Amino acid sequence: MLILKKRVNKELIYKYRYVIGGALALAIAGIVIYKTRPSKKEEPIKGDIKQGNTTSKEGDLIFSMPVSKFSEYPVVVVFGGISYATPTWIMNQVPKELLSKAIFVFAPYTMPYSTVTQKINDFVAKNKILVKNTSIIGFSAGGLNVEKAYNKNFKFIGLIDPTTKKENLSTVYGNNVRMAYNDSNWGGYPQVKAALPTLATIVNNVGGIAEKVNLKHDKIPSYFFDKYKNEIA
């Protein structure tokens, strides 16, 4: 009787030892799986660009930097026009999402592009920035700066209802030019009014895009930047 009782106890011990051991193994496996599972917070989001920018003044220029950090930055120079079309005003015509993708330099039309270039060189050197490519855009009187500085190596050339002169129509443009204009806005400036359709024809003939829009002069910049935001940067 005693021997039978000991045998039963021994069998129970073996039985529970396997049950407890199996449960412990599963628990340990569960802990390993949990610890090795990647945390959602640690997973990088590829191609993520933070929305936003910061600005700083460098004399008459406004530099706009995206909050995201890039290995190389596109640089976009934008010339404003006379009167209300200051660097601050023209900056406010650019969509926030576009300001988040490139360094923008907003300049008055009275500053030559060569001067702007020197200030950009100082800025990128001071901040240890690598430049990926450069684009140049001009609104109204700022269009003359773009016409004078035109180079086929610019990534993007923008002419926004630009002031232009007959003597500038001899420039050999390329297919990197985008233009929006309304010669009806230039009734008080007959030379500009007459030259704009000719300039548009020249741009279209070389593979660029020039379109006449039915918009007032001060409404064209926001239209232009929104339309070409994916080409500019």
Digit-coded pLDDT (tens) for 117-171: 999 999 999 999 999 999 999 999 999 999 999 999 999 999 999 999 888 899 8
- Looking at the domain assignment, is residue 151 inside a domain? yes
Q: Please, what is the angle between helix 113-126 and helix 142-149, to 10°?
A: 80
Q: Would you say residue 228 has pLDDT above 70? A: yes
> Which spans in 127-219 are helix H?
142-149, 190-205
pTM: 0.79
Co-location of 136 and 21 in the same domain = no
Domain that holds residue 217: 53-232
Report, as an integer, the average pLDDT of 63-91: 97
The answer to whether the CB of 139 falls within 8 A of the CB of 76 is no
**Type of residue numbered 51:** Q
Q: Would you say residue 215 has pLDDT above 90? A: yes
Between the alpha carbon of residue 5 and those of residues 2, 13, 15, 94, the distances in Å are 5, 12, 15, 90
Share of the chain above pLDDT 70, in %: 79
**pLDDT tens digits, residue range 36-66?**
334 333 333 335 678 899 999 999 999 999 9
- Looking at the domain assignment, is residue 198 inside a domain? yes
Co-location of 30 and 57 in the same domain = no
**More confident: 184 or 8:** 184
- Looking at the domain assignment, is residue 181 inside a domain? yes
Termini Cα distance of the chain:
91
For the record, the structure tokens of 198 come out as 């000719």
- Looking at the domain assignment, is residue 213 inside a domain? yes
What pLDDT shows up at residue 209? 98
Question: Cα-flanking dihedrals φ and ψ of residue 124, to 5°?
Answer: -70, -30
